[in-house]
């Protein structure tokens, strides 16, 4: 009986304790649920939704983008405590932009064996050039060689010249022939005079024996080679020594490569270099460096490195683009780091990367670095990064665009503090945050006639580059950018103001950057800034050779809009190609 009472008492106690625990948890959980609901409602009111293509769209609830109709995504929350050089992104935004990161040090310098990639162009060997000149005064009656590329052989009839002085000299020879016995010195002097005018002994003997004076005298080639320049035309009156043709022997040519200032120490005469060309992709040509230009090009910050190539099979054509690979001077371990070239943003003055300081947070920090030689698809970083740091290697321009939208420090905004609106705050210039949407900033520039003529000539390969962007052909984009770069850097800047020079200089830098880049996505990002500078100059051309259409894509560059020039009113979008070929509109006509 006592045992039963004891068991019953224990059961009651256990029941009371259990009931207390159950009802206590239920009450707490109910309170917690109420709190959770309350907190959630507070969070929901602070949530903002945006468009991945148009980040300027911000709405308090999900839905469709009013511009393009795409589903809105959850925007990142405004984190506090971020520095001016830091930007935070959501996981969703990172996934949409395909942002990838790499830990510095995972790439070893030995992966490329220290190989430096160069781009260049075939040029005529100046040592093999010769000028075919007129050896006496006269009128050019007939020119048998009239266009570049013709082959000329020594002794070939080049032209026929009427020369009053030569007619008189022939008459003197005929007269002196009759006095050969009595005045041999006079006779000899007349013959020597004709020899100095490059008449052959046979020609002189023929005049002497026939006694006939030739009014139109033949001019024969004294050199062999390919005509690279015709310097006179029929009907011209030539002075003694005036050039008629420029002839080059193309049995050997020069391959000239552009080497950046920070790469110069990696090169020396006698180094072996392997040359390839897109015309013969399966062939590799061995050569050695024969010349390094002692003068630096101040506008491009490059020097020319030259090698001489044998061309007996006539494979190389002057003007052809070539690539070179050379093993640079080895550097001591630990002095530098290698990172993918896609990680580096280059403005012409600064080289920048985005670093992820904390691997657990999606915060990116812009960092200025010092770039050394390019080794294959990698850049050597000599300062600014440490081994083990994590950097953005894919989607770098997207991160930078997000930073620009939020007024953070970025590639084109060194100090930060200004939010980009409308037309990108005019990326090609300082500041410009007050520009309104759908307006094109105009600047009055004074451009000399000589500049306008040369600039329009440089626009021809630029327009072909735009066509290559439309076709999404990165290789052709590089080739046309290189050609435009070559034309732009020869434009005379005398008479230009500081602003005009700045736009031209920035254009030259960006053409060079695009020509050296093989990734279409990066080329298109650089095209945005390039077009800002090109358009600013083009809008001040007084009488363009052909009508130019200024066109705009409202979706390019993450919805910040981008412009370009075309000779056709039909829209062919260079920023998206076939993906959105007709996206855009004509906003101005330059007639």
Residues 6 or more apart whose CB falls under 8 angstroms from that of 182 comprise none
Average pLDDT over residues 231-242: 87
Beta bridge partners of 217: 161
What confidence category does residue 30 fall into, taking pLDDT thresholds of 50, 70 and 90? very low
State both tokens at 126: 């100046």
Report the range of poorest mean pLDDT among 363-372, 432-441, 501-510: 432-441
The segment with the largest mean pLDDT, out of 2-6, 139-143, 261-265, 346-350, is 139-143
Give the whole-angstrom CA distance, residue 537 versus residue 531. 10
Query: What does R_g of the chain's alpha carbons equal in angstroms?
Result: 37
Closest CA to 409 of 360, 350, 343: 350
The segment with the largest mean pLDDT, out of 194-203, 264-273, 455-464, is 455-464
pLDDT of residue 256 exceeding 90: yes
CB 27 within 8 A of CB 35: no
Supply the mean pLDDT for the chain: 77
Q: Which backbone phi and psi does 121 adopt, to 5 degrees?
A: -150, 145
Q: What is each CA distance from 147 to 14, 248, 442, in whole angstroms?
A: 112, 14, 43
Report the range of poorest mean pLDDT among 87-91, 379-383, 411-415, 538-542: 411-415
pLDDT of residue 150 exceeding 80: yes
Closest CA to 151 of 62, 250, 39: 250
**Residue 77 DSSP symbol:** P
11-36 per-residue burial string, b: 16 or more CB within 10 A, e: under 16: eeeeeeeeeeeeeeeeeeeeeeeeee
| Cα of 360 vs its chain's centroid, Å | 36
- Which H/E stretch holds residue 368? strand 363-375
- Which H/E stretch holds residue 525? helix 520-538
Average pLDDT over residues 75-104: 72
What confidence category does residue 541 fall into, taking pLDDT thresholds of 50, 70 and 90? confident
Give the whole-angstrom CA distance, residue 343 versus residue 339. 7
Residues 6 or more apart whose CB falls under 8 angstroms from that of 54 comprise 65, 67, 68, 555, 558, 559
Average pLDDT over residues 154-161: 86
What confidence category does residue 544 fall into, taking pLDDT thresholds of 50, 70 and 90? confident
pLDDT of residue 205 exceeding 90: no
Structure confidence at residue 483 (pLDDT): 93
Question: Which is more confidently placed, 225 or 12?
Answer: 225
Structure confidence at residue 1 (pLDDT): 58
pLDDT of residue 343 exceeding 80: yes
Taking the alpha carbons of 277, 279, 280, 282 in that order, is the dihedral positive or negative?
positive
State both tokens at 262: 């920070």
Is 185 in a helix, a strand, or coil? helix
């Amino acid at each position: 009986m006592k045992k039963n009472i004891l068991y019953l008492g224990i059961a009651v106690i256990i029941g009371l304790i259990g009931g207390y625990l159950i009802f206590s948890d239920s009450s707490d959980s109910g309170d917690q649920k109420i709190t959770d609901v309350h907190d959630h409602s507070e969070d929901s009111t602070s949530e903002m939704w945006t468009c991945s293509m148009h980040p300027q769209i911000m709405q308090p609830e999900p839905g469709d983008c009013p511009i393009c109709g795409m589903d809105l995504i959850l925007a990142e929350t405004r984190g506090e405590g971020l520095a001016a050089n830091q930007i935070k992104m959501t996981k969703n935004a990172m996934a949409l932009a395909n942002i990838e990161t790499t830990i510095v040090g995972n790439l070893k310098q030995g992966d490329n064996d220290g190989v430096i990639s160069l781009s260049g162009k075939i040029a005529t060997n100046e040592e093999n050039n010769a000028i075919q000149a007129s050896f006496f005064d006269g009128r050019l009656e007939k020119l048998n060689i009239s266009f570049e590329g013709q082959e000329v052989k020594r002794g070939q009839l080049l032209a026929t010249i009427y020369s009053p002085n030569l007619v008189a000299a022939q008459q003197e020879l005929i007269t002196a022939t009759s006095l050969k016995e009595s005045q041999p010195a006079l006779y000899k002097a007349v013959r020597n005079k004709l020899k100095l005018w490059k008449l052959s002994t046979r020609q002189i003997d023929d005049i002497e024996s026939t006694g006939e004076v030739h009014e139109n005298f033949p001019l024969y080639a004294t050199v062999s080679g390919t005509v690279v320049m015709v310097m006179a035309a029929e009907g011209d009156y030539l002075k003694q020594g005036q050039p008629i043709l420029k002839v080059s022997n193309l049995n050997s040519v020069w391959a000239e490569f552009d080497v950046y200032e920070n790469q110069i120490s990696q090169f020396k005469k006698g180094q072996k270099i392997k040359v390839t060309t897109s015309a013969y992709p399966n062939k590799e040509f061995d050569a050695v460096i024969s010349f390094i230009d002692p003068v630096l090009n101040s506008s491009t910050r490059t020097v020319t490195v030259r090698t001489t190539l044998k061309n007996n099979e006539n494979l190389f054509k002057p003007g052809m683009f070539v690539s070179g690979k050379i093993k640079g001077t080895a550097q001591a371990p630990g002095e530098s780091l290698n990172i993918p070239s896609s990680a580096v943003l280059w403005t012409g003055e600064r080289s920048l990367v985005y670093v992820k300081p904390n691997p657990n947070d999606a915060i990116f920090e812009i960092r200025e670095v010092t770039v050394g030689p390019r080794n294959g698809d990698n850049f050597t970083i000599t300062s600014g990064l440490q081994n083990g740091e994590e950097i953005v290697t894919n989607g770098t321009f997207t991160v930078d665009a997000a930073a620009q939208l939020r007024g953070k420090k970025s590639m084109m905004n060194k100090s930060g503090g200004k939010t980009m609106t409308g037309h990108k705050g005019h990326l090609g210039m300082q500041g410009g945050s007050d520009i309104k949407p759908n307006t094109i900033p105009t600047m009055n520039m004074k451009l000399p006639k000589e500049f306008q003529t040369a600039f329009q000539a440089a626009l021809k390969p630029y327009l072909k580059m735009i066509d290559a962007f439309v076709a999404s052909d990165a290789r052709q984009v590089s080739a046309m950018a290189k050609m435009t770069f070559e034309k732009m850097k020869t434009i005379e800047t005398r008479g230009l103001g500081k602003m005009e020079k700045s736009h031209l200089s920035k254009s030259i830098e960006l053409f060079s950057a695009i020509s050296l880049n093989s990734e279409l996505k990066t080329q298109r990002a650089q095209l945005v800034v390039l077009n800002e500078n090109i358009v600013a100059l083009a809008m001040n051309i007084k009488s363009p050779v052909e009508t130019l259409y200024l066109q705009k894509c409202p979706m390019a560059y993450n919805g910040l809009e981008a412009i370009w020039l075309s000779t056709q009113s039909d829209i062919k979008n260079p920023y998206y190609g076939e993906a959105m070929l007709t996206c855009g509109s004509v906003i101005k006509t330059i007639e």
